[in-house]
Structure 1
Amino acid sequence: MSYQLEICANSVQSVINAEKAGAQRVELCDNLWEGGTTPSAATIKLAKEKTKIAIYVLVRPRGGDFVYSDLEFEIIKEDIRICKELGVEGIVSGVLNADGTVDKARTKILVELSRPLPFTFHRAFDVAAEPFQALEDIIDCGAVRILTSGQKNSAIEGIELLKEIQEKAAGRIIIMPGGGINESNISKLQSIGCQEFHMSGKKAQKSMAKPGHVNMNSSKDIPENIIFTSDIGTIRSVIEKIDVDS
């Protein structure tokens, strides 16, 4: 069985590290503290120039929920156009309605706009009101995969739902577990039949700058002297585990 590992890369350096580690693909984003937002055009451009790994771009205009205003939806569409111009290999996005159902009308527009690039419906799925109906709606929209933690904080916590979704998908769409995946739990997730996995493999580095006395963010829960980068060793350890178990 062939497995693929996608790395949630939050910088050009993280993309470089993911490629060096042997990952098959990255989901390029920004602002991990907010669950990921759209990276800058410069980040996408330089990631493409400096690596050959497949780059899927997360298109999400802000943190928070996945219910978007007309203006935010226009931003999403324009970002997809820019991503295509920059030569990326895939788009990651998705839209919900206020009641937690998949916004099929808008998601279909995004899928069509992304073509011929493959479209991944992101972890908006994990806050959808009814996962099995969401599964059918996303399939109907034409997405090629769903990134999900099984509607829990981690894929291991959500493994039972992931197994059910994988079975109900029945090959019609790729179910890609993501959230807290590492070398110690990847085998359990392989056992439910999934073949693609998503992880950040991030490692904290202390900033070289001397900590200031002013916090640039209103939330004191976000340490401003820590920088996260996808780590080559962490990613390789998971790839080696997959290779051993496959």
Structure 2
Amino acid sequence: MGRCTFRNLGLLQVIKGRCKIPVFVLIRPRGGDFRYSDLEIQVMRQDIQIFKAHKADGFVIGALSSTAIINFPRQLIVKYSTVRCMSIFLAAFDMCQDPFIAMETIICLGFERILTSGQESSVLEGAPLIRSLVEKAHNRIIIMPGGGINDRNLERILKETNAEEFHCSARSSKNSEMQYQKSSVYMGGVLRAPEFITKSTDAGMVQRMKEMLDKR
């Protein structure tokens, strides 16, 4: 699932033109918490309509009340036959008060998947809760672990959580191809990645992880 905001509409179009797999778009107007204002909800609704018109297969989205209870605005529900059910965004679920009540609410809303690190900083730490969610879901919704997964720990995570799907970035770093590099200029804040190091999906890692999943 790639992160596509409105300014990355071109990214969605290029991916759809090159890939046959479903492409889900993250709908999130800002970072921080998941309690959105009426104006932010309007922005999210517009994003959904725009990306749907450009053939998005589904959406990754989530919202909470001020007391960290699942609070999904009705106007954001997608009810189009040409668009699959939405998935809820990882951190929104992991920040809610009661994960089991939240799961039942999400099921009632018609979501297809829940992305979760088990309400911990990583899936390895949250594995016991994820396994409990998988058991209590009874195949009514897909529980998808995500958070710190790589080709070194995937087998352990699949075994400990009993999950059938997983989410990861599978990224690796590479040096920039810029021949001239001005090291005194930075495009970010104080906490920043090096300007001349880029990160991208590692095809080899993706293949290794797919093979691990297929062997189950």
Instruction: Tell me, yes or no, whether TM beats 0.5.
Output: yes
- Asked if 2 retains the 8 angstrom alpha-carbon contact of 1:38 and 1:58, the reply is no
* 1:135-184 Cα distance to aligned partner (Å, 9 max, x none): 11111211111001101121111101101111111111110011111222
CA-atom RMSD in angstroms: 1.8
* Residue equivalent to 1:238: 209
* 1:75-109 Cα distance to aligned partner (Å, 9 max, x none): 111111111111121111011111111113x1x43
Tell me if 1:218 matches 2:189.
Answer: yes
Q: Percent identity?
A: 36
* Residue equivalent to 2:15: 47
1:114 to 1:73, Cα distance in 2 relative to 1, 3 A: farther
Whole-Å separation in 1 of the counterparts to 2:8 and 2:35 = 22
Whole-Å separation in 2 of the counterparts to 1:161 and 1:211 = 47
Q: Give the one of 96, 99, 109 matched to 2:75.
A: 109
1:47 to 1:78, Cα distance in 2 relative to 1, 3 A: same
* Residue equivalent to 2:140: 172
Structure number with greater CO (CA < 8 Å, separation at least 6) is: 1
1:65 to 1:184, Cα distance in 2 relative to 1, 3 A: same
* Residue equivalent to 2:46: 78
Q: What does 1:21-170 align with in structure 2 at a 5 Å threshold?
A: 27-29=1-3, 40-104=8-72, 106=73, 108-113=74-79, 116-123=83-90, 124-170=92-138
Structure 1: 5+ residue runs without aligned partners? Answer: 1-26, 31-36
- Asked if 2 retains the 8 angstrom alpha-carbon contact of 1:146 and 1:174, the reply is yes
Whole-Å separation in 2 of the counterparts to 1:223 and 1:113 = 43
Q: Which runs of 4+ in 1 moved over 4 A?
A: none
1:189 to 1:231, Cα distance in 2 relative to 1, 3 A: same
Structure 2: 5+ residue runs without aligned partners? Answer: none
* Residue equivalent to 1:13: none
- Asked if 2 retains the 8 angstrom alpha-carbon contact of 1:201 and 1:231, the reply is yes
Q: Which amino acid aligns with 1:67?
A: R
C-alpha displacement of 1:134: 1.1
Stretch deviating more after TM superposition (45-54 or 187-196): 187-196
Tell me if 1:203 matches 2:172.
Answer: yes
